[in-house]
Structure 1
């Protein structure tokens, strides 16, 4: 390792042992970073100070010059009044606002480690994160301080921002001079991203300064190919790496701008796209389906790139969006462990119903449980490697994720003969019924081809005779008849009979995470959610 700039060595001391790391690949020239690198300084270095950087509905936009000035002021406060030293973990909590972005950049520029969490986390969840990452400093939107103050986090110093109090971060006096970025090593930890997993204790994923740039210099540069005039927007908050990349890292890397929405559901995105001429959109398949139903009356002509991740994109949704907008959704799979998307395709390379091909700079294969590659057309576990790899913070589950130098994502995939990767299911979501393997997403895709079905989830329910039976939950269009037998007949016309759900339950909504990821475990354990 390169000599670290961190005074507080907690993160580096709790990296997995080197023999448990995945193989890292730096095959592209742009991935050969210098030994000394501060990614926040790099992201802020390029554009003309007058260019727009961050847009806020109903408020003046921030220019790059204003963003740099505010980041430097915050960095002075962090290293001065607040006593943050390089390597300290700093919790960041709040909705998606320019000040949250500025705090994130300031923490990294000051050599700290950003631990960005959702504004909606409850006290016990915040206690867990603070305990795992040994957090002692927090910058919190003043509107969300109460739950953080209730968290059991010994020694945590909470500094609010955006409030009226005299101790508010934005009211404290600070030098108006530029802040010289801490001379961090390229492999100093820049952020700890906690998995948005649906069950179990969260895992902290350690990512280096070079990793932040690497996801921009692979997926964004080679698949999205953004320009300085692009306006990015999306539904994912900055506490998830999907949103961090799409709203901060990717636009800043090319001198583009981002629209920041505190509320970014489909009903907020549609008017925002029209009003701010958004050109690059990041959201989940569920949001695209919802927007399809309400897109009439909104001008979406500014869009040129629509990115989908977080869960499988059904071919039916892809075709419906293309028919309505003329745009081809860029599907992709990423992971918190790898920071962002590593298999995808754009433009003429897109094959609806598949995720895509390895992003330049990445390698992917499908292997069996013993780590041996399986032939094309045979389902197996997706394994990837590239410039970023899984490094859990002091967690024994590192051995499960990294096997033989590859990151094994927990997804079942098929590699087609033409090199395209097709999603089958999460490895733990495969339904085995009467000896047959049934992939829930395939049945969901069939249900979504029915004009009355807006959303669908398929799970296995234990059954004494068959092991499991296939059960579906569907959200129907307003006014549609609640006729499960008609839906079963439709699925039988689309798939072989053993894949047809034994039960279909109409429900008002499906349980999802804040990023739109379907929580199938809730349907399996609690039954009908309607």
Structure 2
């Protein structure tokens, strides 16, 4: 499939796509996946939905009683798009970094970037200056829209040529003040369906982030596959969940899916499991997106809240244990829709709902997707045997200038890095991660990245970070460290190291435990034996 003519004046994104021969095979033959050559996902999600369902329907709620209708959302998005293009000089194809807590304003900024034909780079509000600097350098970001409460780390990143426009403050050049000066509809840029719409960053086992580039048609494809075919939301649904918009799990579940269905979303700044329960009860949430850890925590608090409005519960981000599924079903009567997705593929591609759910398995390929379990050579393994999960569908992995493209895409398939077993009737059962990624409470933590942060401390000589099984979080990150002679190795020293890591990385990447060793286990050739650390029963400081 050849790329169509781009609307991007700044051609960086298309220029840095991997070579076409390194892409996976794309499946776009189904009638509902045949998109026109010219397609702007922002206009489709907002303008076309408002036309179909009416501008007076609620689109976003803010948790404090505020409600944005589709008409109000469109007006605010268009004003921001005018600021981007008229005041800030953003042209189609420019990368625009978005940062802030989960609010309607952050979602509006994302939609404005889409309509302006720019490329959204949405990052976590927790990301630290060093992480931000790396992502901005990789994507050559020169514009940023940032919640005023999270500006400091972005300024500390000292990104050359970066223009930061804050929103939510009282400065004369605040984005919302600039937006108030503009009136009139904004005609969305006529982007190509295969123009890059967003770059989502993920971390691999080396700790170096990978930029995943997704097209305008990809944004609609995940809504038209998992959401439309498995989740099946309606216009009267109210979505809510814990994942931030910097994760594609959250972007899909809290923005793309509800808007595609003409529904609404409750966007919560604080969305931990103990904040979700009262929010569900107060706002009558009907569709919930969160990780298995949150479901386990909420089970302990259920008696105090009326969650009878819930009709759909989605779990992803880590494996959903059968025991958690059964406990939730017994207490609530609700059958959790389990799923596996990846930043590389934008959202969920294996799942099952309703009577098709089988606890202890992830499910079957979502309509529009194919999946198989293969060996290291890419050959399918017999049912019942372990192998690597390989998938293909309407969305595929396209890394931003990254040699790891050929590791993820093999023989036309996306190889996710997960070990799976295919049952004889086609159900897919998760076994483990095939690499050293630690998945804790739905967050991906690259051990080597945390090791690098620890090694920056003057007392640390060696460090190795691995995942340890944890009943609540699935895994927790444990750091095994060797410190210089004479350095303290007590609880206070461990807490000091944790504090040091938190100044360099997002807090969720900080090791839950620090273990001091005299030496790390290595082979005769000096290779670190991580498997011995995972089995370690050393005392924890």
TM bracket (short chain): 0.7 to 0.9
1:83 maps onto 2:89 in alignment: yes
Structure 2: distance between partners of 1:223 and 1:516? 31
Find 1:15's aligned residue among 10, 14, 17.
Answer: 17
> Alpha-carbon deviations, 1:307-353, whole Å to 9, x = none?
00001000010001001101010000000000000000000000000
Residues 55, 65 of structure 1: CA spacing in aligned structure 2 closer, same or farther, 3 A cutoff? same
Q: CA deviation at 1:295?
A: 1.2
1:193-272 map, 5 Å: 193-197=200-204, 199-272=206-279
Q: Which residue of 2 aligns with 1:40?
A: 42
The normalised TM-score by structure 1 is 0.84
Contact map agreement 1:235 1:265 (CA 8 A) in 2: yes
Structure 2: distance between partners of 1:101 and 1:458? 31
1:149 maps onto 2:155 in alignment: yes
Q: Which residue of 2 aligns with 1:359?
A: 366
1:30 maps onto 2:20 in alignment: no
Structure 1: distance between partners of 2:256 and 2:66? 21
Contact map agreement 1:198 1:519 (CA 8 A) in 2: no
Contact map agreement 1:429 1:459 (CA 8 A) in 2: no
Q: CA deviation at 1:515?
A: 12
Q: Which residue of 2 aligns with 1:127?
A: 133
Structure 2 residues without counterparts, runs of 5 or longer: 438-465, 481-501, 516-529
Find 2:335's aligned residue among 304, 318, 328.
Answer: 328
Q: CA deviation at 1:528?
A: 6.4
Q: CA deviation at 1:175?
A: 2.5
1:95-114 map, 5 Å: 95-114=101-120
Residues 399, 319 of structure 1: CA spacing in aligned structure 2 closer, same or farther, 3 A cutoff? same
> Alpha-carbon deviations, 1:248-269, whole Å to 9, x = none?
0000001100000001000100
Contact map agreement 2:92 2:116 (CA 8 A) in 1: yes
Find 1:308's aligned residue among 298, 306, 315.
Answer: 315
User: What is the aligned residue count?
Assistant: 465
1:51 maps onto 2:50 in alignment: no
1:51-70 map, 5 Å: 51-70=57-76
Structure 1: distance between partners of 2:384 and 2:514? 31
The residue matched to 2:435 in structure 1 has which SS?
Answer: helix
Structure 2: distance between partners of 1:267 and 1:334? 25
Q: Which residue of 2 aligns with 1:92?
A: 98
Find 1:338's aligned residue among 345, 349, 364.
Answer: 345
Greater mean alpha carbon deviation, residues 165-174 or residues 82-91: 165-174
Q: Which residue of 2 aligns with 1:380?
A: 387
Contact map agreement 2:479 2:514 (CA 8 A) in 1: no
Q: CA deviation at 1:517?
A: 9.9
Q: Which residue of 2 aligns with 1:164?
A: 170
The normalised TM-score by structure 2 is 0.82
Structure 1 residues without counterparts, runs of 5 or longer: 431-439, 449-453, 463-510
The residue matched to 1:299 in structure 2 has which SS?
Answer: coil
The residue matched to 2:295 in structure 1 has which SS?
Answer: helix
Q: Which residue of 2 aligns with 1:277?
A: 284
The residue matched to 1:80 in structure 2 has which SS?
Answer: helix
Residues 458, 85 of structure 1: CA spacing in aligned structure 2 closer, same or farther, 3 A cutoff? closer
Q: Which residue of 2 aligns with 1:434?
A: none
Structure 2: distance between partners of 1:163 and 1:529? 44
Greater mean alpha carbon deviation, residues 308-317 or residues 194-203: 194-203
Q: Which residue of 2 aligns with 1:115?
A: 121
Structure 1 moving runs of 4+ over 6 Å: 458-462, 513-530
Q: Which residue of 1 aligns with 2:448?
A: none
Q: Which residue of 1 aligns with 2:496?
A: none
The residue matched to 1:419 in structure 2 has which SS?
Answer: coil
Contact map agreement 1:286 1:516 (CA 8 A) in 2: no
Structure 1: distance between partners of 2:377 and 2:177? 57
Q: CA deviation at 1:455?
A: 5.0
Structure 1: distance between partners of 2:361 and 2:294? 19
C-alpha RMSD of the superposition: 2.6
> Alpha-carbon deviations, 1:364-412, whole Å to 9, x = none?
0000000100000010000000000000000000010000000000000
Residues 32, 456 of structure 1: CA spacing in aligned structure 2 closer, same or farther, 3 A cutoff? closer
